[in-house]
């Protein structure tokens, strides 16, 4: 097992006595040796299994020599676009170039190409014609079959075909990676490695595939949206390792892309082993001059507790990538990592997070899942908690208490998402109390996403009344503890199913609660989510019923403006939206109005003027037990002060 960083140059190889590497890993991210980064886990797993592996991070895709710096590997190249899909990394939902890349040295944008996995593979193929190429990571995982690509606005082929790779690993990849490495070491040609779970391969014959499901052909899904929706939902129903069957997708010239069933979940012992490997916990020292890699700051003092999520939000790709079965680490493993953090010179006493995709999911939703898998036709929490759901925060609470008791630890925060409906489903109330007492500081971020039940149903989220119930319980708990702590609700505009009427309903709720979001997230159609399928097809793949999809940029701007109705710069858009929605009753001087009759005039008769840039903030409604929200404070300045003053008046 290699101590220190893995080789990134010939000089490193010489120092470590390596003449030729077994594998070369090419990554769209900078090299960060921390288990929050996919390239770190896969390379450490290989290193632990006895294989030599080097890393070429962010090669210059315009130069063939950039992928030759470590020589030709003995067994193959491993290619990943990075921790994010390269297109999401590069572009906003409005398809505008981002000015910063948190996964690059110094946050510099543009150090990886669009569709990075495809470009890197094509670069390798120009130099090394016969060396096996295996792709993985989130970009490959979510584009493994024919998929809708938002940026080109068309259905694209499996990334396996466009990249020219020999094999694709989807999901987290630990099991598959070692099995593939052993097969290549044994001399099995890469084209014959067709049996590994969690992989996708191409073939010209399907006679050898037993008990498979044949999807609609690529020609059908690229020309018929109904066929696309049906095919996507079939894939969605085959994401569980216990029940999934092989999937076959046919392309032209009798080429077939075959998806094997997902890899089995890691046992707790296996999870512990993965996170016990000798990660350096930071970025490679070669990035020091550029100021390091910004993404490490969010995870440097965070601990992964579990993976997988049975929440099933329609706009989330976790079902396709990590699956719905929770896999967790033992307390001893997590405590050991925490002790290592406390020994670091730069540790200030604060563990920033202990969680995963959903922090309070530490065990499968029910015992059945570890024997028979998850249900294919129903969700654990949607539209209401399943009767078989075992909602219990006892194990997580016990872990948090142990972490709080460690010498040198001042505070343990929870910054991963929390499912408020799961908290309510737990008949015990001790978790919410300890959460408010010990694990947040002033505010708790939760994700109700919307208030319209019509929209929430498309999102796979619980009805709005559930969030209101949680809000009351949260306020009641803080009042009992003598704490002034707020909820920061994350909200989304323009999700499939959201009309202007729904956006107006959300704006009225924001006025009622006094919450003024600083930032608004438009729905982003990323690969392989139910919501993206709805966006492209206009159909709910679960029911095949039509769904209204706001695609017009102007309408999306109106929906976004309604969520920030009090901003003077949004006045015209808000007015237009209210008129179009038939809600002109909300324009005027009345207490229920969102905007005044003309720019600069606010409900209540106040005028805007110099020094009153935010004078259109309405006077808060009387406290009704649900008035304890705080604006998103990711931006600082006069807006923050205004919101603080609102809360002072409410108190």
The 10s digit of each residue's pLDDT in 431-451 is: 999 999 999 989 999 999 999
Nearest to 47 by CA among 111, 103, 4: 4
Alpha-carbon distances, residue 370 vs 31, 240, 265, 325, 326 (angstroms): 35, 11, 9, 8, 9
Specify the pTM. 0.91
What DSSP letter does each residue of 212-262 carry, written as one string? -EEPPPHHHHTT-HHHHHHHHHHHHTT--TTT---EEEEEGGGEEEEEPPP
pLDDT over 90 (residue 607): no
What secondary structure letter does DSSP report for 91? B
Cα-Cα-Cα-Cα dihedral of 581, 584, 586, 589, to 10°? Answer: 160
pLDDT tier at 363, thresholds 50, 70, 90: very high
Per the CB < 8 A criterion, the answer to whether 200 and 248 are in contact is no
Task: Please compute the mean of the pLDDT values over residues 91-95 and round it to a whole number.
Answer: 96
Q: Which residues sit opposite 162 in a β-bridge?
A: none
pLDDT of residue 501: 97
Report long-range pairs for 344-347 (Cβ below 8 Å, ≥24 apart). 344/281, 346/300, 347/301, 347/408
pLDDT of residue 617: 36
- Please tell me the distance from the alpha carbon of residue 73 to that of residue 124, in angstroms, as a whole number: 12
Q: How many helices (H) and strands (E) does the chain have?
A: 24, 22
β-pairing verdict for 53-57 and 539-540 = unpaired
Task: Please compute the mean of the pLDDT values over residues 579-603 and round it to a whole number.
Answer: 92
Gyration radius of the chain over CA positions = 26
Alpha-carbon distances, residue 316 vs 142, 298, 491 (angstroms): 11, 21, 14
Per the CB < 8 A criterion, the answer to whether 42 and 171 are in contact is no
pLDDT of residue 17: 96
Name the more confident of 3 and 357. 357
Task: Please compute the mean of the pLDDT values over residues 522-526 and round it to a whole number.
Answer: 97
Taking phi first (over 0 means left), then psi (-120 to 50 degrees means alpha), and beta for anything else, what does residue 538 get? left
Query: In the numeric block, which tokens belong to residue 241?
Result: 């390792």
pLDDT tier at 351, thresholds 50, 70, 90: very high
Q: In what order do the strands lie in the sheet with 23-27?
A: 53-57, 23-27, 76-80, 133-136, 167-169, 199-203, 255-259, 247-251, 213-214
Beta-carbon contacts of residue 322 (< 8 Å; ≥ 6 apart): 171, 172, 307, 308, 309, 357
pLDDT 10s digits, 478-510: 999 999 999 999 999 999 999 999 999 999 999
pLDDT 10s digits, 207-226: 999 999 999 999 999 999 99
pLDDT over 80 (residue 47): yes
pLDDT of residue 175: 96
Beta-carbon contacts of residue 159 (< 8 Å; ≥ 6 apart): 117, 118, 135, 139, 140, 143, 144, 165, 168
pLDDT of residue 620: 36
Name the more confident of 589 and 600. 589
pLDDT over 60 (residue 650): no
Task: Please compute the mean of the pLDDT values over residues 144-158 and round it to a whole number.
Answer: 98
Task: Please compute the mean of the pLDDT values over residues 583-612 and round it to a whole number.
Answer: 77
Question: How far apart are the two ends of the chain, measured CA to CA in Å?
Answer: 58
Task: Please compute the mean of the pLDDT values over residues 375-393 and round it to a whole number.
Answer: 94
Nearest to 38 by CA among 295, 346, 335: 295
pLDDT over 90 (residue 614): no
pLDDT of residue 612: 36
What secondary structure letter does DSSP report for 201? E
Q: Does the bond joining 7 to the residue before it have cis omega, within 30 degrees of 0?
A: no
Task: Please compute the mean of the pLDDT values over residues 345-368 and round it to a whole number.
Answer: 95
Compute the half-sphere exposure of residue 101: CA atoms within 13 Å on the CB side of its CA: 25
pLDDT tier at 619, thresholds 50, 70, 90: very low
Per the CB < 8 A criterion, the answer to whether 435 and 446 are in contact is no
Task: Please compute the mean of the pLDDT values over residues 537-556 and round it to a whole number.
Answer: 97
pLDDT of residue 644: 44
Report long-range pairs for 239-242 (Cβ below 8 Å, ≥24 apart). 239/319, 239/320, 239/323, 239/324, 240/323, 240/324, 240/325, 240/373, 240/374, 240/376, 241/197, 241/265, 241/323, 241/325, 241/373, 242/371, 242/372, 242/373, 242/374
pLDDT of residue 3: 75
Query: In the numeric block, which tokens belong to residue 318?
Result: 């976790």
Per the CB < 8 A criterion, the answer to whether 502 and 493 are in contact is no
- Please tell me the distance from the alpha carbon of residue 536 to that of residue 228, in angstroms, as a whole number: 9
| Percent with pLDDT over 90 in the chain | 88
Task: Please compute the mean of the pLDDT values over residues 268-274 and round it to a whole number.
Answer: 98
pLDDT of residue 633: 36
Domains by residue range for the chain, with CATH: 10-259 (3.40.50.2300), 301-441 (3.30.750.210), 492-651 (no CATH)
pLDDT tier at 229, thresholds 50, 70, 90: very high
Beta-carbon contacts of residue 14 (< 8 Å; ≥ 6 apart): none
Q: Which residues sit opposite 302 in a β-bridge?
A: 353
H-run or E-run covering 45: helix 38-48
3-class secondary structure, 86: helix
57 phi, psi to nearest 5 deg: -95, 130
Q: Mean pLDDT score of the chain, rounded to an integer?
A: 92
Per the CB < 8 A criterion, the answer to whether 27 and 56 are in contact is yes
- Please tell me the distance from the alpha carbon of residue 30 to that of residue 332, in angstroms, as a whole number: 31
Which of 97-127 are b and which e, b meaning 16 or more Cβ less than 10 Å from the residue's Cβ? eeeebbbbbebeeebbbebbbbbbbbbbbee
pLDDT of residue 605: 53
Query: In the numeric block, which tokens belong to residue 646?
Result: 């609102």
- Please tell me the distance from the alpha carbon of residue 250 to that of residue 246, in angstroms, as a whole number: 13
pLDDT of residue 609: 40
């Amino acid at each position: 097992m290699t101590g220190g960083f893995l080789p990134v140059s010939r000089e490193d190889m010489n120092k470590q006595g390596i003449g030729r590497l077994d594998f070369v890993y090419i990554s769209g991210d900078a090299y960060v040796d921390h288990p929050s980064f996919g390239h770190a886990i896969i390379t450490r797993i290989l290193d632990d299994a006895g294989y030599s592996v080097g890393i070429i991070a962010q090669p210059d895709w315009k130069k063939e020599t950039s992928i030759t710096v470590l020589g030709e590997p003995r067994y193959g190249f491993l290619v990943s676009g990075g921790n994010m899909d390269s297109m999401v990394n590069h572009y906003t939902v409005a398809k505008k170039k981002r000015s910063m890349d948190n996964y690059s040295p110094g946050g510099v944008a543009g150090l990886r190409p669009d569709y990075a996995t495809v470009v890197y593979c094509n670069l390798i193929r120009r130099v090394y014609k016969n060396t096996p190429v295996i792709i993985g990571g989130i970009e490959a995982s979510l584009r493994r079959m024919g998929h809708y690509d938002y940026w080109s606005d068309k259905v694209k082929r499996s990334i396996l075909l466009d990249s020219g790779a020999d094999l694709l690993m989807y999901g987290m990849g630990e099991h598959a990676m070692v099995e593939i490495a052993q097969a290549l070491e044994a001399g099995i040609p890469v084209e014959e490695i067709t049996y590994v779970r969690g992989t996708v391969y191409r073939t010209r014959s399907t006679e050898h595939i037993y008990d498979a499901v044949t999807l609609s052909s690529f020609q059908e899904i690229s020309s018929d949206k109904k066929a696309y929706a049906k095919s996507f939902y079939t894939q969605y129903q085959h994401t569980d390792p216990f029940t999934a069957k092989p999937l076959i997708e046919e392309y032209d010239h009798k080429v077939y892309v075959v998806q094997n069933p997902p890899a089995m979940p890691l046992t707790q012992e296996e999870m512990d082993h993965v996170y016990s490997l000798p990660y350096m916990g930071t970025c490679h020292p070669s990035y020091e001059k550029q100021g390091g890699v910004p993404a490490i700051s969010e995870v440097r003092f965070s601990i992964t507790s579990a993976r997988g999520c049975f929440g099933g939000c329609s706009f989330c790709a976790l079902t396709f990538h990590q699956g719905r079965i929770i896999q967790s680490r033992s307390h001893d493993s997590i405590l050991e990592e925490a002790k290592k953090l406390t020994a670091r010179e730069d540790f200030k006493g604060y563990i920033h997070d202990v969680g995963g995709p959903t922090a309070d999911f530490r065990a499968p939703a029910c015992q059945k899942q570890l024997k028979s898998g998850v249900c294919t036709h129903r969700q654990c929490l949607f539209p209401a908690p399943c009767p078989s759901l075992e909602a219990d925060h006892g194990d997580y609470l016990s872990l948090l208490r142990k972490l709080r008791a460690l010498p040198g630890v001042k505070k343990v925060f929870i910054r991963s998402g929390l499912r408020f409906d799961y908290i309510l489903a737990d008949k015990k109330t001790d978790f919410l109390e300890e959460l408010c007492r010990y694990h947040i500081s002033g505010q708790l971020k939760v994700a109700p996403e919307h208030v319209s039940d019509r929209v929430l149903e498309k999102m796979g989220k619980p009805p709005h009344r559930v969030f209101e119930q949680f809000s009351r319980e949260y306020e009641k708990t803080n009042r009992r503890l003598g704490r002034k702590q707020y909820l920061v609700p994350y909200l989304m505009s323009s999700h499939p199913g959201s009309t202007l009427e729904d956006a107006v309903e959300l704006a009225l709720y924001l006025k009622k609660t006094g919450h003024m979001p600083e930032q608004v997230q438009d729905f982003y159609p990323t690969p392989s989510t139910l919501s993206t399928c709805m966006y492209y097809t206009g159909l709910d793949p679960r029911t095949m019923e039509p769904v209204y999809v706001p695609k017009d940029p102007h309408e999306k701007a109106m929906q976004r403006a309604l969520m920030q109705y009090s901003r003077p710069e949004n006045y015209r858009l808000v007015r237009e939206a209210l008129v179009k929605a038939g809600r002109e009753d909300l324009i005027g001087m009345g207490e229920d109005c969102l905007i005044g009759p003309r720019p600069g005039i606010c409900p209540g008769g106040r005028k805007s003027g110099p020094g009153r840039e935010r004078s259109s903030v309405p006077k808060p409604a009387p406290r009704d037990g649900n008035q304890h929200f705080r604006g998103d404070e990711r931006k600082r300045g006069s807006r923050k002060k205004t919101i603080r003053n609102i809360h002072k008046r409410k108190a």
